[in-house]
Amino acid sequence: MATQTAAEQREEARKAFDAYFSQCPSRKLLDRLSDKWVTLVLTALQAGPCRYSDLARRIAGVSQKMLTQTLRVLERDGLVSRTLTPSVPVRVDYELTPLGESLMPLVAAIKSWAEAHIEDVERAREHYDAVNA
């Protein structure tokens, strides 16, 4: 019994931590933003409404699956709205909601820090790699 306890304790601690962790608002937001396609979609929509196929074209590397999945998540989170026009063929437009727009300054802030400090980071990396030959 007791021999297993240590491992079990660690695992339970991890599970409890994960449970707590997944509730953290900052984490939820980071999980969204960090998704490879999310910021690209948001940025693409910043200029205004956009059709599905236009998004697919603008975001060159995306697969249909991931574009659709990303849009669904963003729609569910209330960051993007989906408007279906039942013409033939169907037409679907996506657009940032006010909530989605409120997120853009944060995206801009991230871009700003990145562009301001990326060279410092690059230099640090070169130095690190040089030292740890």
Q: Please, which residues bridge with residue 94 across strands?
A: 50, 82
Q: Pick from DNA, a second copy, none: which does 90 bind, CB < 5 to 8 A by kind?
A: DNA
Out of 14, 49, 53, 83, point to the residue binding a second copy (CB under 8 A): 14
Closer residue to a second copy, CB minimum distance, 1 or 26: 26
Cis peptide before 89 (omega within 30 of 0): yes
How is residue 90 annotated by DSSP? -
Cis peptide before 49 (omega within 30 of 0): no
Name the token pair of 45. 């929509």
Residues that bind a second copy (CB under 8 A): 13-14, 16-18, 21, 25-31, 33-34, 39, 60-61, 75-79, 99, 102-103, 106, 109-111, 113-115, 117-118, 120-121, 123-125, 127-129
